[in-house]
């Protein structure tokens, strides 16, 4: 099988990152088998995530990971306590900039990465309370047809 890799054009913590790793996605979300993750190398073979993952579940910016012996999978060593979402919009109906402007209307502070060629946005929020509130905001955007769908990246606790 040929690897189809989703890359991050503008990772949030690009200046801190000093390592790139390609990790497998579960299934073939959006037709991609793998995602390129930007990392900061720490001590003791650990790495800090420097981007908001699009395809990987239970991995958020700031989390600390360690690679398994095969160097293909990873283990979450420490959660940064942050939560993430991915939102999909229909580029034929609405421009990416319009979606971004609508997302910024929320009172909840977010960090956003997006790839307009994929009609995909990755959203980072600081904690569980913000994640619960933002989930309601995203649900409203689906009802308004601003976004097609959204999904929680961090699966625990929401």
Q: Which of these ranges, 13-17, 99-103, 151-155, has the smallest mean pLDDT?
A: 151-155
Q: Tell whether pTM > 0.85.
A: yes
Taken in order of first residue, the domains within the chain and their CATH numbers are 5-78 (no CATH), 83-152 (3.30.70)
Q: How far apart are CA 14 and CA 51, in angstroms?
A: 8
- Check: CB of residue 124 under 8 Å from CB of residue 110: yes
Tell me, what's the pLDDT at 155? 62
Q: How far apart are CA 122 and CA 68, in angstroms?
A: 26
Mean pLDDT over the full length of the chain: 88
In this model, does residue 157 exceed pLDDT 60? no
Tell me, what's the pLDDT at 158? 45
In this model, does residue 149 exceed pLDDT 80? yes
- Of 89, 47, 42, 82, nearest in space to 66 by CA: 47
């Amino acid at each position: 099988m040929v690897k189809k890799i989703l890359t991050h054009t503008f990772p949030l913590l690009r200046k801190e990152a000093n390592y790139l790793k390609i990790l497998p996605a579960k299934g073939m979300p959006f037709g991609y088998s793998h995602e390129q993750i930007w990392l900061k190398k720490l001590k003791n073979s650990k790495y800090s995530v420097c981007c908001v993952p699009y395809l990987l579940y239970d991995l958020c910016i700031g989390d600390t990971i360690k690679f398994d012996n095969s160097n293909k999978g990873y283990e979450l060593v420490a959660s940064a306590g942050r939560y993430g979402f991915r939102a999909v919009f229909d580029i034929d109906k609405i421009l990416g900039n319009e979606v971004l402007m609508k997302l910024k209307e929320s009172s909840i502070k977010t960090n956003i990465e997006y790839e307009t060629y994929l009609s995909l946005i990755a959203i980072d929020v600081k904690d569980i309370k913000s994640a619960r509130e933002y989930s309601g905001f995203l649900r409203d955007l689906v009802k308004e047809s601003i976004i097609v769908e959204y999904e929680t990246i961090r699966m625990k606790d929401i």
